[in-house]
Structure 1
Amino acid sequence: MADRIALHTAVDRLAGRLRSLPQRRLQAGAAAEARELARWLARQAQAVEFPGREPYELPDDGMFVVGDQLAVAGHDLLAALSARLADGADPERVGALLEEALARVTRTARAVG
């Protein structure tokens, strides 16, 4: 599915960008924006993988690891959605979540610069 590839690429690109930002840019809000996105991605992944269970909150491990947290959360969501599709989930519902995730990653990438 092209949407999965687009999300994977966007997540990896943003994570790489975050890893290369100077401390002052991370402190100026880039890290906080990316952390919120990573938390949203992680919650979505957990909701897909463990429906009915309260999702765990992604911890604030500092601004220097937010790129890694974003990459892991994005990849977790992609893996959970792929598993659901293999189990026969509704492709339209999966597609809608992929679109929303891609839109959020794109907005955060623009905000981070």
Structure 2
Amino acid sequence: MLDTTPLTAAVDRFADRLRAAPQSRLQRGAAAEGLALARELALRAQRIEEPGQEPRIMPDAGAFAVADQLAVAGHDLACALERETAPSARAGLDEAVSLVRAAAARAQV
């Protein structure tokens, strides 16, 4: 079984920073960055869990909900990767962690 702790830790850290960010920071792009990442992580989880199905796009629930959306999407992907048996799961995990770290840096929260 794949250890997804690096992904969940990175997602939780970014989500906590978004929760603590002032509204002005969220409106200047941090919320949009978080939502874009949440959508990407959700799509990746759906592709693993439902191959061949048309992925659903996570809705924009507003700047104050984006941290929770990110946490849910990140943990969903972690669960999907844990169950994945393909050799590419490790690469998928590493790539997801890199995406989270890069988005957090761009969000500057």
Same fold (TM over 0.5): yes
Rounded to whole Å, the distance in 1 between the matches of 2:42 and 2:8 is: 14
* Percent of aligned positions that are identical: 50
Aligned-partner SS, 1:64:
coil
Are positions 1:112 and 2:80 aligned together?
A: no
Q: Which has the higher contact order (CA 8 A, sep 6+)?
A: 2
Rounded to whole Å, the distance in 2 between the matches of 1:98 and 1:20 is: 26
Deviation of the 1:70 alpha carbon: 0.2
Structure 1 or 2: more helix by fraction: 1
Give the root-mean-square deviation of aligned CA atoms.
0.9
**Where does the alignment leave 5 or more consecutive residues of structure 2 unmatched?**
none
Per-residue displacement from partner, 1:7-58 (whole Å, max 9, x unpaired)? 1100000000001100000000000011000000000000000000011100
**Where does the alignment leave 5 or more consecutive residues of structure 1 unmatched?**
none
Matched with 1:43 is: 43
Q: Extract structure 1 runs of 4+ deviating beyond 4 A.
A: none
Rounded to whole Å, the distance in 1 between the matches of 2:92 and 2:98 is: 10
Per-residue displacement from partner, 1:45-84 (whole Å, max 9, x unpaired)? 0000000001110000000000000000000001111122
